[in-house]
């Protein structure tokens, strides 16, 4: 699984069943993080900046992110983040999409 950041359509949202995923929210927070279990999440509100290998990705509303197990990153929530997530969820078809940003 690769690190993927992608804005998704309503059709993709429905196809993935995002509305059934677990909710999570937090306020201002910045810390290094090593991903312990592969996670896919969708931002409902707010934003998070994820820095991977000196590249920062600004993730905002309606964006889907795939975090592979073992990924080392810096997680920075400037104000507020509300997301839904699912662990160990494969996104192979999204990783190959032309509009995604993928980091191996």
Q: 81 in a domain, yes or no?
A: yes
Condensed to tens digits (0 to 9), the pLDDT of residues 5-60 reads: 999 999 999 999 999 999 999 999 999 999 999 999 999 999 999 999 999 999 99
pLDDT band with cut points at 50, 70 and 90 for residue 91 = confident
User: What pTM value is reported for the model?
Assistant: 0.87
With beta carbons less than 8 A apart as the criterion, state whether 61 and 43 touch: yes
Q: Would residue 103 count as lying in a domain?
A: no
Q: To which residue do tokens 């509100």 refer?
A: 45
With 70 as the cut, is the pLDDT of residue 96 above it? no
Q: Is residue 104 part of a domain?
A: no
Structural domain contains residue 68: yes
Task: Give the distance, in angstroms, between the CA of residue 60 and the centroid of all CA atoms in the same chain.
Answer: 9
| Length of the chain (residues) | 104
Q: What is the CATH number of the domain that holds 17?
A: 2.60.120.10
* Statement: residue 97 has pLDDT above 60: no
pLDDT tens, residue by residue, 55-78: 999 999 999 999 999 999 999 999
């Amino acid at each position: 699984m690769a690190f993927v950041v992608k804005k998704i359509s309503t059709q993709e949202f429905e196809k993935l069943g995002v509305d059934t995923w677990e909710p999570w929210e937090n306020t201002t927070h910045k810390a290094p993080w090593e991903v312990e279990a592969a996670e896919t999440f969708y931002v409902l509100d707010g934003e998070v900046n994820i820095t991977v290998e000196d590249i920062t990705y600004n993730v905002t509303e309606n964006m889907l992110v795939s975090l592979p197990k073992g990924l080392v990153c810096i997680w920075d929530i400037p104000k507020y983040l509300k997301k839904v997530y699912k662990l160990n969820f494969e996104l192979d078809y999204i990783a190959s999409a032309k509009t995604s940003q993928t980091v191996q």
